[in-house]
Amino acid sequence: MFKRLEGADTDVGVNVFVNGQSVSASIGDTVAGVLFMIETLSIRRSLDLRVHRGYYCGMGVCWECTVTIDGQSGVRACLTEVREGMRIVTDVGSHDDV
């Protein structure tokens, strides 16, 4: 299971929505971190074969972690910090088999 680093400031919480479900997060968490915490490991499908894709580099180079945030598609989850009320939609969705 994914855990925050010791000493991380988790005092300030925010509420975000992932595929329509309310999720609690902390200021400073990335979208990818939140998705890890709720065990969403497959977040999109490949364009050609529609194969499940997940996280790869974790530092913004590979573009494997793209999600839709507040209606804007193609946002890298690993580089984006959460903010109150953010609406995150994965291409896979919460009800698809992973």
Task: Give pLDDT tens digits for 27-49.
Answer: 989 999 999 999 887 888 877 77
Taking the whole predicted model, whether its pTM rises above 0.85 is answered as no
N residues, the chain: 98
Structure-token match 């494997």, residue found: 64
CA gyration radius for the chain? 13
Question: pLDDT-derived band of residue 72, with 50, 70 and 90 as boundaries?
Answer: very high
Task: State the CATH class of domain 15-89.
Answer: alpha beta
Q: Which of 27, 85, 36 is nearest to 58 (CA)?
A: 36
CB count within 10 Å of CB 58 equals 16
Question: Residue 33 contacts by C-beta under 8 Å, 6 or more apart in sequence?
Answer: 2, 4, 25
pLDDT for 9: 59
